Chain A
Amino acid sequence: MRVLIIDPDEARAALVAEGLATIQPLEVRRARGVESVEADLAGFAADVIVVACESPDRDTLEGLREATEVNPRPIVMFVDRSEPGLAQAAVEAGVAAYVVGGLSSDRVRSVLEVAMSRFTLMQRLRVDLAKARADLASRKTIERAKGLLMKERGLDEEAAYGILRKLAMDAGRPIAAVAVDLIAYAAVLKGGGQ
């Protein structure tokens, strides 16, 4: 089985390709965009095309159905009746797929399931990464605000943190948000915020 993965996100495409390597026998090719798709389709003769939903190349693929003998059919046409929910789940996961030849429903399903799980995994990794970055940023901000209080008011670390925590509780806001305000106000008072 030959699978073509079209995804502008190379890391995610690699993740999908790696997941598909468990399905045998299989040949996987990756492309960033549609520029090479027509050439790839002609030379590579993919059975299944997996496309990131965020890629605008989907419409070009739909156009190929009419213009060439390759005739890729969207997965929504292929699986919908026999397996309700699968196409919807794929769209939800951000994966579109096109079936080119007369592939069995089972094999399409296995490819699609791998792609979906890898897309979901990537999404989770991205969310985790963003959260970790935000956590780190807020921790740094709190450290700075604490440092300011210690310096300006001659407090020790624990007392400075206590003030921040009380401000946050009184305002009903996260400590990091209060810390951002405090740093901003300090800058204004020093004339640095102009």
Chain B
Amino acid sequence: MSLETTRLRLGFIPLSDAAPLIVAKQQGFFAAEGLDVDLVREASWANVRDRVAAGLLDGAHMLGPMAVAQALGIGSDPVAITVPLALNLNGSAITVSTAIADALRELDPEGMRRRPRTAAALGRLIERRRAKGLAPLTFAVVFPYSIHNYELRYWLAAAGIHADRDIRLTVVPPPRMVEKLAAGEIDGFCVGAPWNTWAVKQGLGEILLYASEWWGATPDKVFGLTRAWAERHPDTLRAALRALLRAGRWADAPENRGALATLLARPEHVGSPEDVVRMSLTGSPPLIQGDPVSDSHDYLVFHRYAASFPWRSHAIWFLTQMVRWGQAPRSADFAAAADVYRPDLYRAAAADIGDPSPEADFKTEGLHAAPWTLEDASSPIPMAADAFLDGAVFDPDAPLGYVDAFAVSRVAASR
């Protein structure tokens, strides 16, 4: 194998889940593959999308749904995108201002003590505000095509709240979420690490729900690039994937999590206080200021549970939510969405470094309420629970049936 190029420019957004890229660069995994990588911190997801499309970036830290949307020409011109690797599972959360959290506790003290918390109390608060003629609550997500948008909408809808009708939903970049909450411009948000923890640490917000409480192993960021670039640089891409896989493994090791927090916190990376970054890496962050950090390394997962495998069923799931919320038509091409994800490229790179890979490209989501073992793999892989909060099961072979089964959706509202 010979590398078609050794210089790469990769973009990222200041979030803890950019860790595999940052670690691969700073811990020398890219260099060990003979790659000289420039990491470019970008200001917006739209910029990442457009700069990858224009060839100004060779690849980037991307929102999984954004990669699928771009490939299908939803919200931008279609550009063939390839996703050969996922960057993480979990890591996002839904947070509300402490004032809203206190109001919820007053309305439903029992429900606020239960885990996972449903949005039922929030539904009652919304009704009460409506009766008083108050303005709707405002929530923010990070991008229209993001797991955060679908996570918040799903959780609200499971309690009968329609995000387009009952609240006001806006888009705010991750590093600005907390200042907007502090300023009272938004009442809550769904964002990735470390920004929920930052709100809790300052006593401004309370976490209502971890992503993993909504969907056991929530797909999130991916490594994406144009298909044209991937096809022109197969060996360079394979080398980059090996480096990213090793970086993910390094970032997941409990003994490295402290050093990872130090690295990520630096101003040129995430740029937030180190103790805040640490809280969602060495454990699960406290829900409320003053609570202890619980002892778990599953709040943000980079490598375990086949976290970096690009499941084609994830790409299809993202498109089901685009249809559910009116971003894509029912005639959307589910097969084309699945083709954006390239488990074949992943398996080749994983085999090079002796990492086990799943044999199947698709999996049914929501079947496991407890940890399980994936036997259908080059060697058995321990997996995390993947159940949804409402017990729904997603069969990637029947995406429209899945969409139609939701009681609350834009599709249902227009029927």
Rounded to whole angstroms, the CA-CA distance of A57 and B143 in the bound complex is 11
**8 nearest A-B residue pairs (beta carbon):** A63-B171, A56-B173, A58-B44, A58-B46, A88-B54, A80-B77, A91-B54, A56-B43
- Determine whether B45 belongs to the interface, using a CB cutoff of 8 Å to chain A: yes
Q: Is the CB of B76 within 8 A of A59?
A: no
Chain A residues with CB under 8 Å of B172's CB are: 59-60
B75 is an interface residue with CB less than 8 A from chain A = yes
Which residues B178-232 have CB closer than 8 A to chain A?
none
Cβ-defined contact, A74 with B46, below 8 A: yes
> Given the known A-B contacts A56-B173, A56-B176, A76-B76, are A62 and B46 also in contact in the complex, defined by CB atoms under 8 Å?
yes
Q: A96 at interface (Cβ–Cβ under 8 A)?
A: yes
Contact B171 A62 (CB under 8 A): yes
Give the interface of B toward A (CB within 8 A). 43-47, 50-51, 53-56, 75-77, 141-144, 168-173, 175-176, 327
Please tell me if A81 contacts chain B, counting CB pairs below 8 Å: yes
Q: Which residue of A lies closest to B176 (CB)?
A: A56
Given contacts A59-B46, A67-B168, 8 further A-B contacts (CB under 8 A): A55-B44, A56-B176, A59-B172, A60-B170, A60-B171, A62-B144, A66-B327, A92-B56
Chain A interface size, as a band, is 20 to 34
Q: What are some 19 contacts across the A-B interface (CB < 8 A)?
A: A53-B43, A55-B44, A57-B44, A58-B43, A58-B46, A59-B172, A60-B172, A61-B46, A62-B45, A62-B144, A65-B75, A66-B327, A67-B169, A74-B46, A74-B75, A81-B77, A92-B54, A92-B56, A96-B50
Residues of A close to B45: CB separation below 8 A: 59, 62
Q: Is the CB of A76 within 8 A of B77?
A: yes
* Complex Cα spacing A67 to B164, Å: 8
Q: Are B44 and A59 in contact (CB under 8 A)?
A: yes
Q: Write out the residue numbers on chain A whose beta carbons fall within 8 Å of the beta carbon of B43.
A: 53-56, 58
Bound-state Cα–Cα, A107 to B144, Å: 28
**Per a CB cutoff under 8 Å, which of B54, B55, B171 touches A59?**
B171
Q: Is A77 an interface residue (CB 8 A)?
A: yes
Q: Does A112 contact B (CB under 8 A)?
A: no
Check if B53 sits within 8 Å of A76, measured CB to CB.
yes
**Nearest CB in chain B: distance from A52 CB, A:** 9
Residues of B within 8 A of A62 (CB): 45-46, 75, 143-144, 171
Does chain B have a CB within 8 A of A87?
yes
| B47 adjacent to A53 (CB under 8 Å) | yes
Question: Residue of B at shortest CB range from A74?
Answer: B76
- B142 and A88 form a contact (CB under 8 A): no
| Chain A residues with CB below 8 A from B144, complex form | 62-63, 65-66
Q: Which of A54, A56, A81, A96 has most B Cβ within 10 Å?
A: A56
Distance in Å: Cβ of B76 to nearest Cβ of chain A: 6
Q: Could you tell me if A77 and B76 are in contact, using CB atoms closer than 8 angstroms?
A: yes
